[in-house]
Structure 1
Amino acid sequence: EVLSHLNQYFPQYDEKRGYELAGFVWFQGWNDMVDGSQRAEKYVNYTKRLAQLIEDVRKDLKAPNLPVIVGELGAGKPGEFQKAQEAVAKLPQFEGTVKFVKTREYWEPEVEQMVNEGVWKGPDWVKFYNVGSQRGYHYLGSARIYYRMGKAFGEGMVELLGK
């Protein structure tokens, strides 16, 4: 819908120049990760479903080789869900066009410690809100975490685009 009416959404859009869909970043799936039924089946169908989503997005956007980054969800030890995410990038049909990007290295234990100690709701709350704004979900609301993950996604995309 948006691509069919770019001028409505982006008044500065120049139809003569056109546009290019250079890549797609998938950094979603929290509810899939915490869904009890999927967890019980050890996410065996998640890889298939995500692969189908990528194929559908490429088909709908008429971009059969659209580069895709799959961003790792979660900050603890990698488990079955992260393995299912990573498995998508290893499927033969996605070779060289889908990349799994690990994100757990960008977690900030010192900010998490502030959450665990209740700093966010105590007299020194400003210390926490200078570096975060959420509890453990949403990556502590840390701009640094999001920046680092975004940079890693961008670097992964540059790598895919170079192939």
Structure 2
Amino acid sequence: GVMGVGGPLDKYASQRYVPIHGSFREAMAAPASMPEFKGNVAAVRTAPFWDARLQQMEDNQGKIKQMAGFLKSKHKDHPNKDGSMDAQAQKAYLDKYRRTLISGEDESYAKIARSNAAYHYFGSAKTMARIGKAFAEAMIERRKK
């Protein structure tokens, strides 16, 4: 399988890793097109099976963590720039901010859909099952030839 952690490159929130991940994916897929493996090896791209909803939640968690840093450091462009927020006020602000980014429904979804970190496809059974099905279909295609 061609690693698809992060999902389709055109859906990345940040373009920072697109060139690296794109090159890596092409390198992983390349052996399937080599003459000595033609018809015997398939490159199954796993990016299409990435759980975009879990990725959005992961991105939002990053925004919350970043905001916590801004509040703590009294960043000049953020709510605690004057330093008037104590730890309790910062926590209250972050709780409210979190609710604007991650709904209760999202939280419930993550509890049943995620069991690991993003670099392990979030440990998502749905994702793994879809990837496994694609592997099986690739094997069936190879057997037909």
TM-score w.r.t. length of structure 2: 0.56
Question: Which has a greater percent of helix?
Answer: 2
- Count of residues paired in the alignment: 91
| 1:1-163 alignment, distance < 5 Å | 71-76=1-6, 77=9, 78-118=21-61, 124=104, 125-163=107-145
Secondary structure of the structure 2 residue equivalent to 1:101: coil
- Structure 1 residue 130 displacement after superposition: 1.0
Question: Which has a greater percent of strand?
Answer: 1
Distance 1:89 1:115 in 2: 32
Secondary structure of the structure 2 residue equivalent to 1:96: coil
Identity of aligned residues (%): 36
The structure 1 segments of at least 4 consecutive aligned residues displaced by more than 3 Å after TM superposition are 122-127
* Structure 2, unaligned runs of 5 or more: 10-20, 62-97
Aligned-residue CA RMSD (Å): 2.2
Q: Is the 8 A contact 2:2 2:28 kept in 1?
A: yes
TM-score w.r.t. length of structure 1: 0.50
Cα 1:106/1:123, change in 2 over 3 Å: closer
Greater relative contact order (CA < 8 Å, ≥ 6 in sequence): 2
Secondary structure of the structure 2 residue equivalent to 1:134: coil
Name the aligned partner's letter for residue 149 of structure 1.
I
* Structure 1, unaligned runs of 5 or more: 1-70
- Structure 1 residue 135 displacement after superposition: 2.7
Q: Which structure has the greater CA radius of gyration?
A: 2
